[in-house]
A and B are shown apart, each in its own frame.
Chain A
Amino acid sequence: MTMLNTSAPRLRPPRYRVDPSARRWWTVQALLTVTGPAFLVALTMTTLSLLFFPGALGWLGPLLLGVLVLPGLGYLLVMPPWRYRVHAWELGEHAVYSASGWFWQRRRITPLTKVQTVDTVIGPIQRGFGLATVIVTTASTAGDVRISGLAMDEANELARRIGEAAAVEEA
């Protein structure tokens, strides 16, 4: 195969975004896993300090604010929109392509010939937003593709198409 132009080829981003309501799902996730616990710990420590060591608030307050409250709040506000800008997917002719992450971003391309199973997984919070995750597994953990935050019917359709395309490619 000869290249007609000499510039180095670039990997373009995948074509399709995930469902817009994924942002709300990620917000709830952030609340439950990071921000909520951080706030709770900060609140508990402040209460204890008020009850038993009122003198400690002078240095404990700023410490809790800097270590728990502000990072928790930042994560809650920054992560979901950033993720939404990054997450994307595309089912090509020979491969499935996904982009994920927010701070650390990952783009993974897995050929359909290497696909072993295709699962659609719906978590308890996802269900509330009508979302699902498509997981494509291969023989290697470093080759598995997860596309999360798709609308349920879209996810089922994609899973079906990947399964069919993989079977066609296999043959």
Chain B
Amino acid sequence: MDWRRLDPRMIAVHVSWLAAPAASLLLTLLISGGRLELRSWLTLAGVTLGFLTFTTIGIATWAKTRYRITADAVEVRTGMFIKTLRTVRLNRIRNVDLTASPVHRIFGVTTLRIGTAGSNDTGSEIKLDALSRTDAQALRAELLAHVTRAAAQDPVVSVMNPRWLRYAPLTFWVFGGVVLVLGLGYRALEAIGIEAWRLPLVQQLAVEFGSSALWLTIPLVLLASTLLGVIGALGLYLENWWHYRLEWVSDHLLRVRRGLLTTRSVSIERNRLFGVLLREPLLLRAGGGATVKVVAGGLGNEEQDSARSAVLPPAPLPEALRVTAGVLREPVGPLVDPVLAGHPRVALRRRIVRGLLFVTAPLLVVQGILGWLLTDVLLHLAWSTALASLPFVLWFARDAYRNLGHGLSGSYLLTRSGTFSRDTAALRRDDVLSWTFTDSPFARRAGVVTLTAAVATAAGGYRVPDMAAADSAGFADRAVPGILTEFLDRDAEGEQLPAEFADCGAGGPVGADGAR
């Protein structure tokens, strides 16, 4: 392949830096009514100059950068004053990810980053900023094809990357962080003998809030608490995950080390590692991120297990998928583009009914009773909130239904479910030690059953919720042959599930038991 340039549309991206000074000029003109003082001119000129420098550097970098893919390496030539040539051998590449800022998106270009094993400082990765979307995707596919068995044998699975911090605000702690930050501040003041509520500033604020223009102050307070939440979430992320390193210290010992102030280190034996769990909580999923947990025995009780089994902080999904493969020591993990069978439509109906029962109905009933007892306003509130909850219920039910899936991939059993946290588990089929089928009269009428695979972990079982009852026994038998073979009926009678039976031993083995 010859030396190639980056996408020419990058010039437009770099020029768009100038939008900032242009906007501030416009705003200043608007506010001042067109008459500008010398001081404003000077500031504007300074700002413009600054951004012009950015743009110039950007365009020059674009003009000087060339890249090519040879038979065994990626080479990037760049440099204005200092010429550099960076070469990364294809078999050292561990991850390739594509990112696009909103401005990049407008112009249809994408930044491609090539990371190597153990590269956590941004200096040792290659960044091509930017390629057209189609080029980037083609190049990524080409490079990933080289991420071969070498990756599966690499002892270092993953290390902290500061760019993952952008996922911290997408965790629950963006809400919990507010309380955390305020609480810490309060405690700190208390420690030096100041009661926060007595501070004249705080009291003044409280008084003024009541008498202020609420349409303005409420959004401001929300903004401030979001900021606090982000700070809290970032702080927690740093404390929990800084210096994170996930590696195979020997052939049969996986070790996670992490923590800024408190260093935590967890070692997991390979023979007690039964699988891996990819978790995508709602916010994180919307931001294209995920976390990874191991499914392993001997990590203590359920509470300890949930802290010890985490092997990846909130991080980009491609990285998470790579880690799932690395933890299982597979060249391509079973969770990369998994083929999952969907569940019957009835499962969607059941989720909608569940939402109506547990969200809409309580809203209606509780407020209705209160309204009937106290005031008519609540009655109107009752039907309006119930009505307003309908689209949410429908959306979540639909999402929950679409996330349902199960399948087999090589030596793994896959199951996916959940909407607030979409969890995909890959369990080693050999490590499943029991099957459980659960249902209720409603499920029996709908012809679905929940199948649980037991594994020797603190959590115990992994569920395949609401799968077609007719397929469940066959799936379980295919997944882990031998466990329930002797209790199967292979007759062609179309009865769904014998919920009741008149006398013992009804329906003995009729059909042929298969070739032995």
Q: In whole angstroms, what is the CA distance A16 to B487 when docked?
A: 13
Cross-interface CB contact of A142 among B437, B452, B470, B472, cutoff 8 Å: B452
Q: Could you tell me if B486 and A95 are in contact, using CB atoms closer than 8 angstroms? A: yes
Q: Could you tell me if B434 and A114 are in contact, using CB atoms closer than 8 angstroms? A: yes
Cross-interface CB contact of B434 among A88, A90, A138, cutoff 8 Å: A138
Cross-interface CB contact of B433 among A17, A106, A110, cutoff 8 Å: A110
Comparing B124-132, B244-252, B477-485, the segment that makes contact with chain A is: B477-485
| Contact flag A90-B433 (CB < 8 Å), given A1-B514, A12-B498, A138-B454 | no
User: Hey, what's the 0/1 contact readout for B481-504 against A, CB within 8 Å counting as 1?
Assistant: 111111111111011011111001
B439, CB-defined interface residue at 8 Å: yes
Question: Cβ of A161: which chain B residues have Cβ within 8 Å of it?
Answer: none
Question: Cβ of A139: which chain B residues have Cβ within 8 Å of it?
Answer: 297, 433, 456
Closest CB of chain B to A122's CB: distance in Å?
24
Q: Could you tell me if B437 and A107 are in contact, using CB atoms closer than 8 angstroms? A: yes
Which residues of A in the span 110-162 have a Cβ within 8 Å of any Cβ on B? 110-111, 114, 138-143, 145
A14, CB-defined interface residue at 8 Å: yes
Q: In whole angstroms, what is the CA distance A145 to B434 when docked?
A: 9
| Contact flag A92-B486 (CB < 8 Å), given A9-B473, A16-B504, A110-B433 | yes
Q: Could you tell me if B491 and A7 are in contact, using CB atoms closer than 8 angstroms? A: yes
Q: In whole angstroms, what is the CA distance A68 to B275 when docked?
A: 46
Closest CB of chain B to A145's CB: distance in Å?
8
Q: In whole angstroms, what is the CA distance A9 to B493 when docked?
A: 10
Cross-interface CB contact of A4 among B433, B488, B515, cutoff 8 Å: B515
Q: Could you tell me if A11 and B434 are in contact, using CB atoms closer than 8 angstroms? A: no
Comparing B145-153, B198-206, B231-239, B505-513, the segment that makes contact with chain A is: B505-513
Q: In whole angstroms, what is the CA distance A7 to B514 when docked?
A: 12
Question: Cβ of A170: which chain B residues have Cβ within 8 Å of it?
Answer: none
Closest CB of chain A to B497's CB: distance in Å?
7
| Contact flag A111-B433 (CB < 8 Å), given A17-B504, A138-B454 | yes
Q: Could you tell me if A140 and B438 are in contact, using CB atoms closer than 8 angstroms? A: no
| Contact flag A140-B498 (CB < 8 Å), given A1-B515, A8-B471, A9-B477 | no
A52, CB-defined interface residue at 8 Å: no
Name B495's closest neighbour in chain A (CB-CB).
A10
Q: Could you tell me if A109 and B489 are in contact, using CB atoms closer than 8 angstroms? A: no
B460, CB-defined interface residue at 8 Å: yes
Q: Could you tell me if A8 and B473 are in contact, using CB atoms closer than 8 angstroms? A: yes
B54, CB-defined interface residue at 8 Å: no
Cross-interface CB contact of A11 among B454, B473, B514, cutoff 8 Å: B473
Cross-interface CB contact of B454 among A15, A93, A140, cutoff 8 Å: A140
User: Hey, what's the 0/1 contact readout for A86-108 against B, CB within 8 Å counting as 1?
Assistant: 10101011110100010111111
Question: Cβ of A33: which chain B residues have Cβ within 8 Å of it?
Answer: none
Question: Cβ of A92: which chain B residues have Cβ within 8 Å of it?
Answer: 486-487
Which residues of B in the span 433-488 have a Cβ within 8 Å of any Cβ on A? 433-441, 452-457, 460-461, 470-474, 477, 481-488
A66, CB-defined interface residue at 8 Å: no
Q: Could you tell me if B470 and A4 are in contact, using CB atoms closer than 8 angstroms? A: no
Q: Could you tell me if A14 and B438 are in contact, using CB atoms closer than 8 angstroms? A: no
Residue count of chain A within 8 Å CB distance of chain B: 43
| Contact flag A95-B483 (CB < 8 Å), given A4-B515, A10-B489 | yes
Cross-interface CB contact of B515 among A2, A15, A104, A111, cutoff 8 Å: A2
Q: Could you tell me if B433 and A143 are in contact, using CB atoms closer than 8 angstroms? A: yes
Q: Could you tell me if A4 and B512 are in contact, using CB atoms closer than 8 angstroms? A: yes
Q: Could you tell me if B470 and A109 are in contact, using CB atoms closer than 8 angstroms? A: no
A13, CB-defined interface residue at 8 Å: yes
Name A13's closest neighbour in chain B (CB-CB).
B501
Name A106's closest neighbour in chain B (CB-CB).
B438
Q: In whole angstroms, what is the CA distance A86 to B497 when docked?
A: 13
Closest CB of chain A to B407's CB: distance in Å?
16
Q: Could you tell me if A13 and B498 are in contact, using CB atoms closer than 8 angstroms? A: yes
Question: Cβ of B504: which chain A residues have Cβ within 8 Å of it?
Answer: 15-17, 88
A5, CB-defined interface residue at 8 Å: yes
Cross-interface CB contact of B487 among A7, A11, A106, cutoff 8 Å: A11
Cross-interface CB contact of A85 among B455, B461, B500, cutoff 8 Å: B500
Q: Could you tell me if A104 and B438 are in contact, using CB atoms closer than 8 angstroms? A: yes
Q: In whole angstroms, what is the CA distance A4 to B488 when docked?
A: 14
Question: Cβ of B434: which chain A residues have Cβ within 8 Å of it?
Answer: 108-111, 114, 138, 140, 142-143, 145
Q: In whole angstroms, what is the CA distance A20 to B438 when docked?
A: 24
Name A16's closest neighbour in chain B (CB-CB).
B504
Name B452's closest neighbour in chain A (CB-CB).
A142
User: Hey, what's the 0/1 contact readout for A7-39 against B, CB within 8 Å counting as 1?
Assistant: 111111111110000000000000000000000
Closest CB of chain B to A84's CB: distance in Å?
11
Q: Could you tell me if B435 and A94 are in contact, using CB atoms closer than 8 angstroms? A: no
Q: Could you tell me if B439 and A104 are in contact, using CB atoms closer than 8 angstroms? A: yes
Q: Could you tell me if A106 and B501 are in contact, using CB atoms closer than 8 angstroms? A: no
A171, CB-defined interface residue at 8 Å: no
Q: In whole angstroms, what is the CA distance A9 to B476 when docked?
A: 10
| Contact flag A106-B437 (CB < 8 Å), given A17-B504, A90-B487 | yes
Q: Could you tell me if A111 and B482 are in contact, using CB atoms closer than 8 angstroms? A: yes
Q: In whole angstroms, what is the CA distance A26 to B453 when docked?
A: 29
- 11 A-B contact pairs sorted by A residue (CB < 8 Å): A5-B492, A5-B511, A93-B486, A95-B487, A97-B484, A108-B435, A114-B434, A140-B455, A140-B461, A142-B460, A143-B460
Question: A13-B501, A141-B454 given. 6 additional CB < 8 A pairs?
Answer: A2-B515, A10-B497, A10-B498, A12-B498, A138-B454, A138-B456
- Which residues of B are in contact with A by a Cβ distance under 8 Å? 297, 433-441, 452-457, 460-461, 470-474, 477, 481-492, 494-495, 497-501, 504-508, 511-512, 514-515
- Which residues of A are in contact with B by a Cβ distance under 8 Å? 1-5, 7-17, 85-86, 88, 90, 92-95, 97, 101, 103-111, 114, 138-143, 145
Question: What are the 6 closest A-B residue pairs judged by CB atoms, nearest first?
Answer: A142-B461, A143-B434, A139-B456, A143-B454, A142-B460, A142-B454
